[in-house]
Amino acid sequence: MKVCVFGAGAVGGNIATRLLAAQADDVSVVARGAQLKAMRERGLTLRSGGTEITARAEVATDDPSTLPPQDVVLVTLKAHAAPGAAAAIARLLAPQGCAVFLLNGIPWWWRHGLAGAGGPLPLLDPDAALWTRVKPERTLGCVVHSPNDLIAPGVIVHAGPDHFILGEPDGSASARLEAALAMFGRGGIEARTAGDLRRDIWQKLVNNASGNTLCALSRVDLGGLGADPELCALSIRVMRETLAVAAALGWDLRAEVDVESTARRGKPGQRPSMLQDVLRGRPIEVEALLGQLHAFAREKSVAVPNIDVVLPLLRGLDRALRAA
């Protein structure tokens, strides 16, 4: 299969390294800046579980229009960057190709296939570019359980779980879903299908809506967040509000998520992606992790007093990062 990793940062770099090292598919990479320069000069290096994997991409570019049509485009951009790449992603897809979006938080395709719902989410796809150009019908969703950190151009460090959950936005089974799973398998990457992908999204979002956001605002890592009594208590309240919104939308996880232990299980030095972005002066995934959640709360009249406070702070931080 022709496979393009579109955005080879931390998560994308992990996947690209494994796929390239396996040499089982025709893999190209879209990257930019120092990361692209490093890939061209030295290749990619992934450090994980005491092992080191190094691989070189024969085709690495910052101009996706130079690539041939692809069977699979693995979109590993940040959620706020994906709409701007919609046209390039759409052009890359072969007639029967699909785009797999490996996104944090609520994805842009959320309403596709839901009974009584349809259409784009303006907070996540402001001009409906993803909805109209890439199209949810040509998309697979993916929940990422793989903490990675880009410690230097071309060098990724992975620690913790490393598995991916894939599914069709409408919940159906499909040949392209099976093909994507097989492609991950050929790269030695653990992946499975979802019984209900949106449920898996909520399960991860409970952690991200609290841990990612509060680490970004406080600039402490997950270990520090859990060890600080006041921050930990706030994290628990945000998790409970997230669970209440999920339940109002039809995914009640309150009986299966232990928010007390979840809030305290972070390890010292464990930096979630939003904290990594803040420390590097980059824009953050505010709307996917918290903004759309807040909008859902308003739609369902769910009180979220803690998120009411955290969200404007995050939006203010994001504006400052963009201005800088």
So which residues are the catalytic ones?
204
Helices (H) and strands (E) in the chain, counts: 14, 12
Q: What's the CA angle centered on 159, arms 158 and 163, to 5 degrees? A: 80
Q: What is the dihedral of CA 8, 13, 18, 24, to 10 degrees?
A: 10
Q: How far apart are CA 300 and CA 314, in angstroms?
A: 22
| Nearest by Cα to 90 from 105, 106, 101 | 101
Q: What's the CA angle centered on 269, arms 268 and 271, to 5 degrees? A: 115
- DSSP state for residue 211 in the 8-state scheme: I
Tokens of 45: 């290096």
Tokens of 158: 């992975």
Tokens of 109: 């395709």
Q: How far apart are CA 110 and CA 107, in angstroms?
A: 6
What DSSP assignment string belongs to 106-138? S-TTTTTT-TT--S--TTTSTT-HIIIII-GGG
Looking up tokens 């070189």 gives: 56
Contact 253, 313 (CB under 8 A): no
Determine how β-strand 148-152 pairs with β-strand 155-158.
antiparallel
Q: How far apart are CA 23 and CA 38, in angstroms?
A: 20
Give the contacts of 261 (CB within 8 A, at least 6 positions apart). none
